[in-house]
Amino acid sequence: RYWITEDLRTLPNAARWAGLRSIGMVERTCWQDGVQSVEQRDFIASIGADAQRFATAVRGTGA
């Protein structure tokens, strides 16, 4: 699952990152040997809050 927002108020010192436009999060569920784990990763981005574009960039297939 993917989330992205341009609301940077919760990010301390956001103004220090030149070109920062959004923050995003990816949640991934994995199964290994019958055990479920959930991984969450956070990202800072220079793109607007476009979930499809964010997902494509995170997967590494271009932006």
CA angle 50, 53, 58 (to 5 degrees): 120
CA distance 13 to 52: 27
CA distance 47 to 5: 10
- What does the pLDDT look like over 29-51, one tens digit per residue? 999 999 999 999 999 999 999 99
Mean pLDDT of all residues belonging to the chain: 91
pTM given for the model: 0.75
> What is the pLDDT averaged over residues 57-61?
83
Q: Give the pair of three-digit tokens for residue 9.
A: 């108020």
Phi-psi region of 19 (alpha: psi -120 to 50; beta: other; left: phi over 0): left
Residue 60: the pLDDT is 85
Amino acid letter, 10: T
Q: Give the pair of three-digit tokens for residue 12.
A: 């301390």
